[in-house]
């Protein structure tokens, strides 16, 4: 007989705003916008008080200020947010045997079998209380037999609360909710469903899976399953060791610093682009040098979570300059990004204008469509195109 799973989902409430309030209690209860203060900036996050005015993340700051003129704008500090995210991760790691960090502020935990010793909801509840007590951050919890229903349950429990959906109650729980509440149903998909007269999950549950497949292709089947509370996806164990990297062994050992820095630029651009394509962020950068006598040196630096090459490049170059001390011929150089998490924070929303965000997205689309280095920094043009191996996360 198959064991019923117990999957907990936890999500830190208005994470950036909550962290700012820890450092400045005057922000409590006020409408807060996190992001660039100029009209051309973008809202990275906003408080529940600001959301009541129709403000949401990724909205142009100009529009948000029109909707909520009394909002307090905070520029944001990704270093602080990264640090608090690491603190929560450490508590989760100490408390449960198997967890997935699906973004900077979101976790899944597989508690299957724990009910025999402790009670899954009791364990999840006590972990949530510990996080609140030790970090001062509000966090919401959902518990069910799969990831989709638990994530929706967390959303329904917010802010700063918890909800359990007993086994067998998944369909009735989801039925009255808007189709937008189902993970993976975004604006485009929901608009198509609205045009079909589908607004509530209950209608989706009653539709034949074949009809959804005909409309949305292979995603149609997934939408139908999620609407019916079916999700077999496992919790993927989180490891800070997971990384992507790129190495280059030169045909001839070299001390040409300009060529070495051009190579590092090309590697950094392509790895950062890979992160953005996968919707990932890195919090650790490592540079590696192997000299002609085969002596190998590495240096790493912890950084605030990012996937922007204009943030990563100066760090890579600085690590290289610190490492390259022997003035010997270099045989190999490499770059690695590790401590990866998934997150929709793609670039530096606190500094970048909408135009710069659009530029990054356009560059990524061109490089995906036509191949790496279709568009890149001029200095990297001199370096040959590199091939990415998806099986080991390495470039060759």
Annotated binding residues, as ranges? 11, 105
Give Cα 305 distance to the centre of its chain: 9
281 beta partners:
341
Say what angle helices 78-95 and 120-135 make with each other, to 10 degrees.
Answer: 140
Mention every residue, 6+ apart, whose C-beta is less than 8 A from residue 3: 112, 113
Instruction: Residue count of the chain, please give it.
Output: 396
Distances (CA, A) of 235 to 92, 145, 170, 217, 310: 14, 12, 18, 26, 33
Q: What is the Cα–Cα distance from 238 to 22, expressed in whole angstroms?
A: 27
State yes or no: is 79 an active-site residue: no
- Options 20, 100, 106, 395, the catalytic residue: 106
Q: What is the Cα–Cα distance from 46 to 72, expressed in whole angstroms?
A: 10
Q: Tell me if residue 324 falls in helix, strand or coil.
A: coil
List b or e across 78-105, with b for residues whose CB sees 16 or more CB atoms inside 10 angstroms: beebbebbeebbeebeeebeebbbbbbb
- Determine contact, residues 151/183, Cβ cutoff 8 Å: yes
Q: What is the Cα–Cα distance from 38 to 23, expressed in whole angstroms?
A: 23
Q: Which two tokens stand for residue 246?
A: 């790129």
From the annotation, which residues make up the binding site for Mg(2+)? 11, 105
Mention every residue, 6+ apart, whose C-beta is less than 8 A from residue 188: none
Instruction: List, by residue number, the catalytic residues.
Output: 106
């Amino acid at each position: 007989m198959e064991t019923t799973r117990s999957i907990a989902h936890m999500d830190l409430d208005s994470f950036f705003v909550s962290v700012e309030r820890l450092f400045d209690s005057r922000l409590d209860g006020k409408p807060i916008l996190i992001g660039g203060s100029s009209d051309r900036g973008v809202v990275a996050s906003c408080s529940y008080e600001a959301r009541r005015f129709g403000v949401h993340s990724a909205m142009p700051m100009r529009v948000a200020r029109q909707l909520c003129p009394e909002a307090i704008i905070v520029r944001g500090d990704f270093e602080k947010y990264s640090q608090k995210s690491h603190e929560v991760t450490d508590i989760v790691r100490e408390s449960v045997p198997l967890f997935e960090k699906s973004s900077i502020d979101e976790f899944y935990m597989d508690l299957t079998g724990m009910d025999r010793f402790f009670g899954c909801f009791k364990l999840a509840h006590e972990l949530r209380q510990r996080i609140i007590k030790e970090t001062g951050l509000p966090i919401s919890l959902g518990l069910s037999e799969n990831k989709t229903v638990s994530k929706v349950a967390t959303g329904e429990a917010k802010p700063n609360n918890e909800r359990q959906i007993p086994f067998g109650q998944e369909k009735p729980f989801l039925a009255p909710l808007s189709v937008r509440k189902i993970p993976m149903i975004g604006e485009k998909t929901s608009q198509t469903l609205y045009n079909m007269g589908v607004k509530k999950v209950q209608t989706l549950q009653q539709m034949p899976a074949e009809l959804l497949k005909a409309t949305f292709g292979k995603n149609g089947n997934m939408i139908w399953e999620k609407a019916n509370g079916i999700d077999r996806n496992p919790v993927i164990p989180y490891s800070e060791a997971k990384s992507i990297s790129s190495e280059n062994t030169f045909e001839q050992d070299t001390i040409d610093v300009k060529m070495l820095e051009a190579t590092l630029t090309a590697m950094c651009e392509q790895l950062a682009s890979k992160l953005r394509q996968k919707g990932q962020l890195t919090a650790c950068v490592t540079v590696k040098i192997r000299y002609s006598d085969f002596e190998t040196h590495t240096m790493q630096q912890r950084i605030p979570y990012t996937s922007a090459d204009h943030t990563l490049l100066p760090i890579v170059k600085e690590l290289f300059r610190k490492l390259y001390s022997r003035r010997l011929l270099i045989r190999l150089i490499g770059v690695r990004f590790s401590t990866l998490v998934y997150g929709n924070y793609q670039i530096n929303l606190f500094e970048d204008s909408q135009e710069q965000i659009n530029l990054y997205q356009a560059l990524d689309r061109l490089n995906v469509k036509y191949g790496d280095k279709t568009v890149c920094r001029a200095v990297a043009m001199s370096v040959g195109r590199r091939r990415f191996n998806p099986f080991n996360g390495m470039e060759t």
